[in-house]
Amino acid sequence: MTDLAVERWFLREGVPAIVRARHSAFGRMLPFTVLVLVYAPLFILLWAAFLPGVDDEDPPPEAAVASFVVSIAAIAVGVVAVLVFLRLRRTREVLRGTRAGLVGVGTALLLNFVAGLLAGGLGKALSDLGEAAVLLAVGLALALSGLGALLGWAVRRAVLRFGTMLSVATRAIPLLLLLVAFLFINAEAWQMSAELPRSRLWGVVGFLAVVTLVFFAVRLPKELARLEVPHSVDHVREACENTPLAARAGALEPGDLGPRHPLRRAERTNLVALLVVAQGLQILLLSVAVFAVFLFFGSIAIEPAVIEAWVGHPPTPGVLFGFPVGLPNELLQVSILIGALSGLYFAVYTITDADYRAEFLDGLLGEIQRILLARECYLHA
């Protein structure tokens, strides 16, 4: 296998800091560029066709269903386009370099400008062009920092481990229901959450997320420092099975590895970020699951008359991300708050509790151990 194949494997594993060669940021961001290239112009044109005259930034309630359908359709087509592109790129080297990346960026900007021009004239075209430029700038920053590779790895891992996470959720959520049921069936909690403007409620959620990230940033480096990585040819060979490094590892002889290569600061930071992002994504998914459970529970257990008695006024129609959901806004508010608090609870217990740790953290540390063993083989070559 070539060095390029090996380095791409490390990028797919979310550890770009290990790679010693420099790869084109425009080439690496091409999947994101394809998403912007397809999704944004399609969304603009579909909106103009099915919702003429409706503001796409703040659609009225009567247009909520149509705007939701338009958004989902554009996203679905964009995701399919990215999947097709990724399959094509496996066998076409031309789709990996700087030239292809720059062509993709130029095409995305042009299509967004043309779509805006067709949908609403020059003013809208310039606005859509600016939005596309900002999105592509964000994608370039993610590629340059390596965060894009890390996020891609975390999402792929979450999809592959969805069954495991579902198993954990089915065991954890019933216990959590018992722990926070007193908060959900509590007039003060409903009053507090109902009186919060939605923007301020998201601020509370953001604060809890920051607390969670700080907890991870303090604890996870210690977990990484305690990780024991054996330094032997047999362990390296085992770690490199079914990777582009398998042939190199198989050719190693006892004593070939030499002294262990110490981690550079960038590599250590990358590995800590890997732990934080992977744990954070799992916590996010479990928090959303708790939110959905309490939303369902409240819709069948809490009558409108009870909500009115608790909050002092009749329930108001619920809107989530601009779309009416057919549930009371007060139920949405308290469910969002409990979901965020549950995320902090999960974050602490995935590290401090033995049962949760075995499901969440130990497997992730095992994957990092495998990456570090493969790193030894890569650096030896």
Q: What is the pLDDT of residues 26-66, one digit of tens each?
A: 878 888 899 988 988 888 888 888 878 776 666 676 676 77
Q: What is the pLDDT of residue 1?
A: 44
Cα separation of 270 and 218, whole Å? 15
Q: What is the pLDDT of residue 62?
A: 67
Collapsed DSSP state (helix, strand, coil) of residue 379? helix
pLDDT above 70: residue 220? yes
Collapsed DSSP state (helix, strand, coil) of residue 102? helix
Q: Report pTM.
A: 0.76
Closest residue by Cα to residue 332 from 190, 208, 187, 206: 190
Contact at 8 Å (CB) between 154 and 14? yes
Q: What is the pLDDT of residues 172-202, one digit of tens each?
A: 777 777 777 777 888 888 888 888 888 899 9
Q: What is the pLDDT of residue 205?
A: 92
Q: What is the pLDDT of residues 338-371, one digit of tens each?
A: 889 888 888 887 787 776 677 677 778 888 888 8
The torsion angle over the Cα atoms of residues 52, 55, 60 and 64, rounded to 10 degrees, is 70
pLDDT above 90: residue 90? no
Contact at 8 Å (CB) between 154 and 367? no
Cα separation of 375 and 13, whole Å? 12
Contact at 8 Å (CB) between 112 and 143? no
Cα separation of 377 and 381, whole Å? 6
Sequence-distant (6+) residues with CB within 8 A of 256 are: 233, 380
The average pLDDT across 83-98 equals: 80
Centre a 10 Å sphere on the Cβ of residue 296 and count the other Cβ atoms it contains: 12
What are the residue ranges of helices labelled H in 90-197? 98-120, 122-145, 147-160, 162-184, 187-195
Residue 326 φ/ψ, nearest 5 degrees: 75, 20
Percent of residues, the chain, with pLDDT higher than 70: 93
pLDDT above 90: residue 239? no
Sequence-distant (6+) residues with CB within 8 A of 350 are: 279, 282, 283, 356, 357, 359, 360, 361
**Out of 160-174, 278-292, 328-342, least confident range:** 160-174
Collapsed DSSP state (helix, strand, coil) of residue 325? strand
The average pLDDT across 139-161 equals: 79
Mean of the per-residue pLDDT values for the chain?
A: 82
- Tokens read off for 9: 């494997």
User: How much is the CA Rg of the chain, to the nearest whole Å?
Assistant: 24
Closest residue by Cα to residue 270 from 4, 15, 89: 15
Contact at 8 Å (CB) between 267 and 16? no
